Amino acid sequence: MSIAELRRDYAGRPLRREDLDADPVRQFQHWFREALETDVPDANAMALATVSADGVPSVRTVLLKEIDQRGAVFYTNYDSAKGRDLAANPQASIVFYWTPLSRQVGITGVTEKVSREESEAYFHSRPRGSQLAALASHQSAPLASRQELEDELRQLEARYQGREVPLPHGWGGYRLKPDRFEFWQGRENRLHDRFEYRLREGVWSIRRLSP
């Protein structure tokens, strides 16, 4: 079978205007709970799109760690490729795709760094191995070999045995402050339901989009 022949029909339940919460964050939280209840694998995985200073786009998968009225939070190394992009252009987009539900949610907005206190609290909530790995990895920098990375990790394990792992310099969270949401529900014959929320002067408006 060729790639062009790969297809499936979407059979999600209808999404109507009256089904939507007036607040897109609450609507997202409702759909996210349904994704968890449906046992969607890695429901908090999201594609993050950024643009470099010279206009080159990049996209990669990161994990959502918090979402509320202030925005959506993820954590990374500020010196990574995505961190350099966001330093040059703080606008970004994220997309969630939940295959079992035939749903996706896109969110666009401007990013800002979370406070060091928030980054500290999240960092020390992670498994110790993940904390040490974050300290060992100079994310996106060239690496001579896997062995080099594993040697660095072993040295850090020995150095911090019985001690708290410090928050790495240049590691922390970003909060994407949304100005646009799109909720997409797959439907039969590609006649999908799409609704867009736009923030204008502090008020969210909603409109249906053609599939």
Which positions are annotated as active-site residues? 190
The 3-class secondary structure across the chain, one letter per residue, is: CCHHHCCCCCCCCCCCHHHCCCCHHHHHHHHHHHHHHCCCCCCCEEEEEEECCCCCEEEEEEECCEEECCEEEEEEECCCHHHHHHHHCCEEEEEEEEHHHCEEEEEEEEEEECCHHHHHHHHCCCCHHHHHHHHHCCCCCCCCCHHHHHHHHHHHHHHCCCCCCCCCCCEEEEEEEEEEEEEEECCHHHCCEEEEEEEECCEEEEEEECC
Report d(CA 137, CA 114) in Å as an integer: 21
CA dist list (Å): 16 to 11, 96, 187 = 15, 20, 12
